[in-house]
Amino acid sequence: MTAAIVPPYLLARIASVQEPGWARAAHAARSTLAIAHEWHSPRSRLRLSIDEGGSLIAETAPAPRREISDAQSREILPGVVVRTEQSPVSSDVTVNDAFDRLGATFDFFWDAFARNGLDGVGSNLLATVHYGREYDNAFYNGERMVFGDGDGEIFVGFAHSLSVVAHELSHGVVDTEGGLNYEGQSGALNESISDVFGTLAEQHARGHQTERASWLVGEGIFSEHVEGHALRSLSAPGSAYDDDVLGRDPQPAHMRDFVVTASDNGGVHVNSGIPNHAFYLTAMALGGHAWERAGLIWYRTLTAHTLAPSADFATFAAATLTAAAAEYGENSEEAAAVHSGWVGVGVMNDEPTAD
C-alpha cells in the first residue's frame, strides 16, 4: 500500500481533459498514474522557552534526524543526498521546505503526544524531492516521503504544504501502530486519521486555535488557475474545490451520503470526509487548540492497539468514545463532544455508550 495525497479519481479526471490549454496537466496526470511504487517495510536537543511569568525555561527534547535527497527529475529512489542535520541551508527552496516541514511534523508529534518520530523511537525522517517530471503527487512508501513538483498548471509542488507532508508521514504512524486495511471504511479511516494529524500539525506550527484554523488539507498546492482552496476540507467536506477541470469535491460529510464505489480502494479518499467531519465537530465543541484534547483522544484511540485492521466507522467511533472516557471520564465534556461529533455525521445514535 502506497498512500498518496492526490486521489486517483482526481488524477484520472485531469488525465481525460482534451482541451489544448490543459495538455501539459493532462500529460502529467497520465504519467503520474502510470508510475507504480514499492512499499518498504535518538538524539536530543535543548529547547528554550519563556513562561507566562517571564522566566526562561530550558528543557531537553528529542531532535529530528532529517535527510533530504534529490531525485533530479528521475523516478529512482532515493536520489542524491542534498541536506542533512549537519548541512547548511540549501539554495533550493523545495529542499528547504521539505526539511522544515519534516521538522514541524516531528515537533507536532512530540509536543502534542510525546511521540519521538513516526515509529516512536526516533527513526530517521527521509524525503526525496524533485521526483519525476511534472509528477502530480506526494506519497509515503513506508520508508520515505516523496514529493513531485507538479505540472505547473494545476499543481505547483507538494513540499510547500505542511498539511500534505504531515498527512503522508502520518500514514507511517498509522502503519506503525498496527495499521488499517487500505480499503473500504478502514481505508477511509486510514486516510482520515492522516488528514486529522496533517491539519493539526499545521495548526500547531501556526499556533491556531479551532476557530482560527483553516481545516484544509493541501492548501496552497493548486495553481491560481484552479477554482479551489485545497484537496479536502474537514470543516465542510465537499467544498474544497469546484472547478471546470477538476470537477467538484466529492466528499460527503454524513453517512446518508456515503459513496459506494469500487474505485479508489472503495472510496478511501472520498468517504474519509465523514470521520474527518466528526473530528472537526468534536474539536469545535471543545475549542482551544484542537490537538490538546480532541487530537489526544484520536491519538489514544490509534495507539491503544485495540482496533482491528478492518475496523469500520462505527467501531472506530466507539473506540474514540472509550478513549475519551478513559482519559477524561465517562461523563466528561470531552466524552460528550466525541459522542456529539459522531452523531453529527450519522455514525452514532443519540444514546451515548462507552465500552
Task: Locate 159 and state its grid cell.
Answer: 513540499
In a 13 Å sphere around the CA of 16, the CA atoms on its Cβ side amount to 10
Let me know if 134 is a catalytic residue: no
d(CA 229, CA 267): 21
Give the chain's end-to-end CA distance (angstroms, integer): 31
DSSP for 213-261? ---EESTT-B-TTSSBS-SEESSSTT-SBEETTTEE----SSGGG----
Q: How far is CA 127 from CA 124, 132, 145, 349, in A?
A: 10, 14, 4, 43
d(CA 147, CA 269): 19
User: Which residue in 171, 204, 229, 269 is the catalytic one?
Assistant: 269
d(CA 3, CA 8): 10
d(CA 234, CA 248): 16
User: Which residue in 168, 177, 202, 219 is the catalytic one?
Assistant: 168
Let me know if 168 is a catalytic residue: yes
Catalytic residue list: 168, 269
